[in-house]
Structure 1
Amino acid sequence: MIAHILTSKYLLGVPFYRLEQQLELQGASLDRGTMCRYAEDAGATLGAIVEAARKEAFETAFCLSMDATGVSIQPGPIRERKDKKPGPCRKGHFFVVLADKDHVFFDAARAFADGLIGDHDHVVLQVHHEVVVLRLGHGGFG
């Protein structure tokens, strides 16, 4: 049931209120608040698994291969800003990290390589179509 709800919501884009209506037509009663809690719990569980895999990969990887892409980050909604005026976009980076061909991670940071690399001896970094191999000491990046 939970897999059906999550697949309908996130793969097919069916809102919870429509799922609630569909289930009632089929004779099942499940309110959208419960569906929302299921989605939140599944996200927290999967997030914990991904974080554990990321931690293990970053601690044991011999080599990290990373692609960094600069991105513009839009400011929040005007109604939530103190000055109520539009502001400029901030700069940030989107990273794809391959750890020893076993794990692929996606991450974002405001500053370049802000806490992403940790302690590694080798880092392969691709920036703007140029590949740089960094041989690091025990201090990590930076």
Structure 2
Amino acid sequence: MQAQMLAPAAVLVLWSLIMLGWTAATRFPAMAKTGMDVKTAPPGGRGQDLEAVLPPQVSWKSHNYTHLMEQPTVFYPTVVILALLGGSQTDLAIAWAYVALRVVHSIWQATVNTIPVRFSLFLLSTVCLFVLAIHAVELTLLAQGAAA
């Protein structure tokens, strides 16, 4: 079960890298269309500086990649805790649901980006993470009690 519990985290890592690639694949051509050249960009420039220059649809991918660097950072240690302390089949199913919802959220935000649907996907994934976190806390407290 340990390796199985880590699989959703590994898939989400891969998905995050795919989103990074999608960001680059859309951002660099869009920059070229505006006449921008990365080689001559001023020092200290950041991706967010491109918001006013590039079409919103290009920036949506970058926004989503940023989101994948935020809440999932709570997901990863939660899954590791569950893997180490004996997460259940239910935990595994919830972890996969979290990953599926994050992938759908990514695709939605990167392409359509209407807020009600995007927020609903985010909320559902957050509920999954909350349930996993509660179970991780329960398992750590049980392990602590067993060690005493």
Computing the radius of gyration over CA atoms, which structure comes out larger, 1 or 2? Answer: 1
Q: Tell whether the structures are fold-level matches, with TM greater than 0.5.
A: no
What TM-score, normalized to structure 1? 0.28
- TM-score, with length taken from structure 2: 0.27
**Greater relative contact order: 1 or 2 (C-alpha under 8 angstroms, separation 6 or more)?**
2
